[in-house]
């Protein structure tokens, strides 16, 4: 099934990733210090398709009902509104928000009651008229397992759900999985084909703006050694992920939680615990989208 999906995505992947680099942004910079990035911990910002809302994961923020909570800010004529805890937070962990490409709701993971394992992926529908979120629903056993599922992300047409899991077997601790949308939900998840998953933890991935590849986190979580990688999709499938340079990654530490705003397709947002210019232990940064080095791929010809 996924060979067909990959073939569809690959029709646009022959364009070199990174040709539309951001203008006016040259280095990674902390994102909205004091508003989003604080002395506490912030991971993975997501934006509504119209750019009017942003949500992100927090650890150690006061005012939320759980230890890990999702916060939201809304754009106003005066700028971004003061952050507030979203209505669908629980007393358990709620994290890794992702705004659906059609703007109809938020995908996230939660350890709340009613799940199938530890951290499960849930969906909270969004009402554009009232600006409110509905009660979250669990995505069910085709996606969730007895283990942890993290970092849901969707292709730009909303037909493919990308996430990580350590409860479905695989190559390493956490592996990346795909699930295809069906009329009544999601088809049974399958691992992203080789060579994407490896013996380390592969997680926290997001699609590139044109669905021509993914940015993913890979490394050893327990050893605080995680970096961002870029893998594109060719007519033959995914190519081996390339580690992104030190303009984003650090020699040691955690670099994870990549995301892209549809209003800023040339900007990569990510979280880092190892950069020294942010206000906290782990902050959200923004940087130009890195280019893919096609010269390293022997099977690619001009």
pLDDT tens, position by position, 105-157: 999 999 999 999 899 999 999 999 999 999 999 999 999 999 999 999 999 99
Please report which confidence band the pLDDT of residue 69 belongs to, taking 50, 70 and 90 as the band edges.
very high
d(CA 213, CA 182): 22
Q: Which SS3 state, helix, strand or coil, does residue 7 take?
A: helix
Global pTM value:
0.92
The structure tokens listed for 219 are 């490394």
d(CA 190, CA 134): 29
Q: Which of 129, 126, 130, 137 has the alpha carbon at shortest distance from 55?
A: 126
Q: CA 286 from chain center: how many Å? A: 14
DSSP assignment letter at 240 = P
Report which of residues 147 and 5 the model is more confident about.
147
Quote the pLDDT of residue 302: 39
The angle at the Cα of 266, spanning 108 to 165, to the nearest 5 degrees, equals: 30
Quote the pLDDT of residue 50: 94
Contact 179, 199 (CB under 8 A): no
Quote the pLDDT of residue 12: 41
pLDDT-above-70 percentage for the chain:
89
User: For residue 27, is pLDDT > 50?
Assistant: yes
The listed CATH number (2.60.120.10, 2.120.10.30, 3.30.530.20, 2.70.240.10) that belongs to domain 2-289: 2.120.10.30
Contact 123, 139 (CB under 8 A): yes
Q: Lowest-pLDDT range, 165-174, 188-197, 255-264, 268-277?
A: 165-174
Asked, as a colleague might, if the bond just before 166 is cis with ω within 30 of 0, I would say: no
């Amino acid at each position: 099934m996924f060979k067909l999906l990959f073939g569809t995505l690959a029709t646009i992947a022959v364009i070199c990733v990174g040709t539309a680099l951001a203008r006016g942004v040259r280095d990674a910079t902390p994102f909205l210090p004091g508003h989003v990035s604080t002395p506490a911990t912030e991971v993975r910002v997501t934006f509504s398709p119209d750019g009017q809302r942003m949500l992100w994961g927090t650890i150690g923020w006061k005012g939320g009902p759980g230890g890990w909570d999702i916060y939201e800010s809304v754009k106003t004529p005066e700028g971004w509104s003061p952050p507030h805890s979203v209505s669908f937070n629980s007393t358990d962990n709620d994290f890794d928000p992702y705004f659906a490409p059609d703007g109809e709701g938020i995908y996230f993971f939660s350890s709340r009651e009613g799940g199938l394992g530890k951290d499960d992926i849930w969906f909270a529908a969004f009402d554009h008229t009232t600006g409110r979120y509905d009660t979250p629903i669990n995505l069910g056993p085709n996606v969730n397992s007895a283990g942890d599922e993290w970092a849901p992300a969707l292709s730009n047409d909303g037909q493919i759900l990308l996430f990580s899991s350590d409860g479905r077997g695989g190559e390493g601790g956490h592996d990346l999985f795909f699930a295809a949308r069906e009329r009544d939900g999601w088809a049974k998840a399958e691992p992203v084909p080789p060579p994407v998953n490896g013996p380390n933890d592969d997680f926290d991935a997001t699609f590139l703006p044109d669905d021509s590849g993914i940015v993913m986190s890979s490394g050893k979580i327990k050893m605080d050694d995680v970096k961002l990688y870029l893998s594109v999709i060719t007519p033959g499938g995914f190519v081996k992920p390339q580690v992104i340079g030190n303009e984003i990654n650090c020699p040691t530490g955690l670099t994870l939680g990549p995301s892209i705003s549809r209003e800023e397709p040339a900007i990569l947002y990510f979280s880092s615990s190892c950069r020294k210019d942010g206000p906290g232990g782990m902050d959200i940064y923004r940087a130009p989208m890195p280019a893919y080095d096609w010269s390293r791929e022997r099977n690619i010809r001009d």
